[in-house]
A and B are shown apart, each in its own frame.
Chain A
Amino acid sequence: MLNTARINLRLFWDGAVLSYIALFRWLRPSTYIASKVFGPLVYMLFFVLLGRYATGSSDASFFVIGNAIQMCAWSGIYGITMSITGDHWDGTLPYVFGAPANRLIVFLGRAFIHVIDGYLGVVLGFFWGITLLGLDLSQTSLPALALVVLITTISTSGLGMLLGCLSLMTRNVMFVNNTVFFGLLLFAGANVDVATFPGWMQSISYALPLTRGIQAGRAIVAGADLSQVSGLLSTEFLFGLIYIALGYVLFRWFEKQAKRRGTLEAV
């Protein structure tokens, strides 16, 4: 029992670290750091300044919080999808599926570093918001905000894991990723209040991760305590778990179907 746990922990860690390295090792360290630090800055500036101009408001906190939390979708959607689908493109999938490794551990391992990466991305978004865009956190419980960001990053990564499995079945990985990422940008309410959406759009918003996380983040920054957003947070977390579970079921279904139909190497 203990030995199995140790083996799986090792598999989880190696899968997490090595799949992440495999994804980004083509970048020089300086390019990697620049993409992680300055990319989010440009992104934040664009949406926050656009939002401020469009609304005529001098208070940018609505846009700063929304877009800072949305930052986790970069790693959660793009990173995780590419990590999972990378096996398809590298031709390593038959060797992964031919091994006795626990599939759930393999599956979760691919997402782990991206969750951390996404979390740091949000932290950086808030950093730019505080230093350059005037975000005020004086009323904010920082541990509560940290928890909001963690749960939202996990739930958004859950959607990424589901998409990663979908991407095993399509050549159009980037098309799917782009559609979902920009869909989130619209529907999760990073830049427009979800309450102003027509009913059918709100239905979509609340079926997605991130929406409730952004709302909870705004409330916490405004001074709410954790108990006031516990409903939003627990539902956000539940949605994350549902997406992860769906992704895992799809991952296993894909393996079974590929072995049945002989499509394991079809790209």
Chain B
Amino acid sequence: MNAIQVDHLRRVFTTNVGRFRRESKEVVAVDDVSFAVGDGELFGLLGPNGAGKTTTVKMLTTLLIPTSGSARVGGFDVEHESQKISSTIGFIFGGERGLYWRLSGIDNLRYFASLYHVEPAVAAKRIPYLLDLVGLKDRGNEKVEGYSRGMKQRLHIARALIHDPQILFLDEPTIGLDPVGARELRLVIRNLQAEKKTILLTTHYMFEADMLCQRIAVIDKGNIVALDTPEELKKLVLDLSVIEVEVFGVQDDLLEKIRKQKFVDNVSVENRDQRQILTVQTPRGSEAIPDLMAIFDGRRVGKVTSREPTLEDAYVRLVGGDA
């Protein structure tokens, strides 16, 4: 039996617009999603903002009722057996909220231990263990409001583990963290993986998914567009090379012009301070550089490099647009 089994899950939100003449509008957040996660697997759900990752996690954690389709977590149906699921899972959503800021880290864990029916004697041992696991051993007595963002997110991990669940849902756990904080959190996730926990991790950081996940589902516009191991997903772009061009103030019309070139498979732009990094996927490799430079037609260009494709390039090819 799979730890998580998702079959044709769909979620439509109805919103009302207008103050006096209110009209209903339907938004499809998750269209048709199916996948399975094995026991002890670290499974990644990758997708751009608004792709449906968080909505999917909310349905699997029983916080949102699906519009249609079905899902089973730990063998229980998410809609009809939510009470049984809640004892067997732990979950966190990225960001700082979701903790009692005026309580200490220890008091937060104590309260969640009560909510999850953890015996006081067990909680008394588990709380110091978890604080140590997430690197907050010396800060547990301090109020959460004084914690850094990274510390709060690590406390979230401890909170999610308080009842020692076998299945964990981590929704963008490293979002907004500085590189050191994110690395520490990834180390915690690695340790959980070593403990054979089943983990569903959502992220839009490719290297994170590549580093941690055994299999990855790429979700876009509410649908799974690819599902495989990171290595297999990378093979989707084996026929391509990647040229990165440092540019300054690139305009949309120029981007459009590059996209229309026959030798260009995909283009994405990443802003870095005053400059942008233009990532061009092409089957022609570095041979395409002179043709590419010709399009810039004397505009200011910085460093130009050519490299092998990564998981991120596979992702860009799958979902298109800006990474």
- Report A's interface with B, CB cutoff 8 A: 7, 10-11, 14-15, 18, 21-23, 25-26, 90-92, 94-101, 106, 259-262, 264
User: Which of A14, A90, A92 is in CB contact (< 8 Å) with B114?
Assistant: A14
Q: How far is the CA of A7 from the CA of B102 in the complex (A)?
A: 25
In the complex the two chains form, is A259's CB within 8 Å of B65's CB?
yes
In the complex the two chains form, is B120's CB within 8 Å of A10's CB?
yes
Name the prevailing secondary structure of the A interface residues.
Answer: helix
B154: Cβ under 8 A from any A Cβ: no
In the complex the two chains form, is A25's CB within 8 Å of B111's CB?
no
User: Which of A95, A100, A260 is in CB contact (< 8 Å) with B65?
Assistant: A260
- Number of B residues with CB within 8 Å of any CB on chain A: 34
Known: A259-B63, A264-B63. A100 touches B120 (CB 8 A): no
List residues of chain B with CB within 8 A of the CB of A264. Answer: 63-64
Q: What's the minimum C-beta distance from A198 to chain B, rounded to whole angstroms?
A: 35
In the complex the two chains form, is A18's CB within 8 Å of B100's CB?
yes
In the complex the two chains form, is B115's CB within 8 Å of A90's CB?
no
B62: Cβ under 8 A from any A Cβ: yes
Q: What's the minimum C-beta distance from A171 to chain B, rounded to whole angstroms?
A: 16
17 residue pairs A–B, Cβ–Cβ below 8 Å: A10-B114, A11-B114, A14-B110, A14-B111, A25-B102, A25-B103, A91-B97, A95-B98, A96-B115, A98-B61, A100-B86, A100-B116, A101-B115, A259-B64, A262-B11, A262-B55, A264-B64
Residue of B62, B64, B83, B110 with highest tally of chain A CB at under 10 A: B64
List residues of chain B with CB within 8 A of the CB of A98. Answer: 61-63, 86, 91
Q: How far is the CA of A14 from the CA of B111 in the complex (A)?
A: 6
B93: Cβ under 8 A from any A Cβ: yes
User: Which of B87, B95, B143 is in CB contact (< 8 Å) with A100?
Assistant: B87
User: Which of B14, B61, B111 is in CB contact (< 8 Å) with A18?
Assistant: B111
List residues of chain A with CB within 8 A of the CB of B103. Answer: 18, 21-22, 25
Residue of B58, B95, B159 with highest tally of chain A CB at under 10 A: B58
Q: What's the minimum C-beta distance from B31 to chain A, rounded to whole angstroms?
A: 16
In the complex the two chains form, is B117's CB within 8 Å of A7's CB?
yes
Q: How far is the CA of A262 from the CA of B54 in the complex (A)?
A: 12
Q: How far is the CA of A92 from the CA of B13 in the complex (A)?
A: 22
Q: How far is the CA of A23 from the CA of B98 in the complex (A)?
A: 15
